[in-house]
Amino acid sequence: MTMTAVYPGTFDPITMGHVDIARRAAQIFEHVIVAVYDTPAKTLVFDTAERVAMAEKALAGVGNIEVRAFGGLLVEFARQAGARVIVRGLRAVSDYEIETQMALMNRTLAPDVEEVFLVASLQYSFLSASLIKEVIKLGGTVEGLVPDFVADALRQKLAKQEETAPVPRWLTS
């Protein structure tokens, strides 16, 4: 039986922290599905197709990684995909709290699906997609923290958004 793991997230957009976790998971499991959640309870910059396409491009070199969109319950998606393992990345203590809460709920819903945590690599342990978006919005550089094509796409997208809705003054002063 192929050992398949699901690595779920919003990936809005994919960062080098995500890439690192996905690659490391792919060294442990035979098949890794990077699962892009289509309707998270947060405001998104990229739509589902864009987030999937960027994740595919960022992970193109890794043969046993597949990127798929999903909706609904994660444990149901994992079961349907034939995965008995969910992989999540852990950065700070704050991640630990929320991740254990979600893991325990997932285990209640599906005791046959196990959750595995990979500790963030030191150089990406401060990195989050929302921080990247904030830095780009304010004109900073994010070299080495996201793939270059992701930084370009973010700049374009955020510039377009700014045309319709300028950054509030309180964000920049």
Question: Which residue ranges make up the site for ligand ADP (CB under 6 A)?
Answer: 9-11, 15, 17-18, 21, 40, 88-89, 91, 95, 120, 124, 127-129
What tokens does 63 get?
């043969």
Least distance CB 22 / ligand ADP (angstroms): 9
Is 88 or 133 the residue whose CB approaches ligand ADP more closely? 88
Is 21 or 31 the residue whose CB approaches ligand ADP more closely? 21
93 Cβ neighbours under 8 A, 6+ residues apart: none
Least distance CB 173 / ligand ADP (angstroms): 28
Q: Which of 82, 76, 77, 54 lies closest to 67 in space, CA to CA?
A: 54
66 Cβ neighbours under 8 A, 6+ residues apart: 31, 32, 33, 34
Is 62 or 169 the residue whose CB approaches ligand ADP more closely? 62
Least distance CB 60 / ligand ADP (angstroms): 19
Is 11 or 70 the residue whose CB approaches ligand ADP more closely? 11
Least distance CB 16 / ligand ADP (angstroms): 7
53 Cβ neighbours under 8 A, 6+ residues apart: none
Least distance CB 18 / ligand ADP (angstroms): 5
Taking the alpha carbons at both ends of the chain, their separation in whole angstroms is: 57
Residue number with the smallest Cβ distance to ligand ADP: 17
Is 89 or 137 the residue whose CB approaches ligand ADP more closely? 89
**Cβ-based neighbour number of residue 42 at 10 Å:** 10
User: Distance (Å, rounded) from C-alpha 103 to C-alpha 23?
Assistant: 21
